């Protein structure tokens, strides 16, 4: 079974382009797996579609970083999607492609 993750995590909003995430990484001295190209939506299509970057050999894909997602679904409810709760939605949002649901934020490692 999956071990529970213990360690640093970041709470990040979607709607950020990669250059904004890069600025925040410098400001807070953390590393997040984010797109290399400045205007790609970091936790929109990048995370939702897989997320290849220059760090993929070290840390894996962008979608592999996510611990949990807070999402507004098409029926208007605000839910958490994680391995424990709404796990099918959690699976679909990480790599299933963009233009599905609008995630509001999540916790990558």
Partner 1 sequence: MLATLLGLAIASHSNGPKFGYETVELTPDDVGSFSAIGPSTAPSPETSSRPGLKASCREFPGTNDWPSEVEWKWLNASLGGVLLKPVPAAAACYPGPYHDAVKCTSMASGQTISKAYFDDPLALSTMWTAGNSCPVTVTERPNGDCTQGGFPVFVVNATSVKQVQIAVNFARNRNLRLVIK
Q: Write out the residues near partner 1 by the rule CB under 8 A.
A: 4-17, 20-21, 24, 28, 30, 39, 67-68, 70, 72-78, 80, 82-85, 102, 104-105, 107
Here the contacts of 84-90 (C-beta below 8 Å, separation 24 or greater) are 90/66
Nearer to partner 1, 57 or 77 (CB): 77
Nearest to 107 by CA among 19, 7, 2: 7
Nearer to partner 1, 53 or 68 (CB): 68
Nearest to 105 by CA among 16, 42, 20, 14: 14
Nearer to partner 1, 56 or 67 (CB): 67
């Amino acid at each position: 079974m999956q071990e529970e993750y213990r360690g640093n995590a970041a709470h990040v909003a979607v709607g950020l382009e990669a250059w904004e995430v890069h600025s925040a990484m410098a400001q807070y001295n953390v590393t997040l797996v984010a797109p290399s190209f400045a205007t790609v939506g970091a936790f929109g299509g990048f995370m939702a579609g897989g997320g290849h970057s220059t760090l993929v050999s070290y840390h894996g894909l962008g979608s592999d970083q996510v611990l949990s997602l807070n999402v507004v679904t098409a029926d208007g409810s605000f839910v958490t999607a994680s391995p424990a709760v709404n796990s099918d939605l959690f699976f679909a949002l990480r790599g299933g492609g963009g233009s599905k649901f609008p995630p509001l934020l999540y916790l990558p490692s």
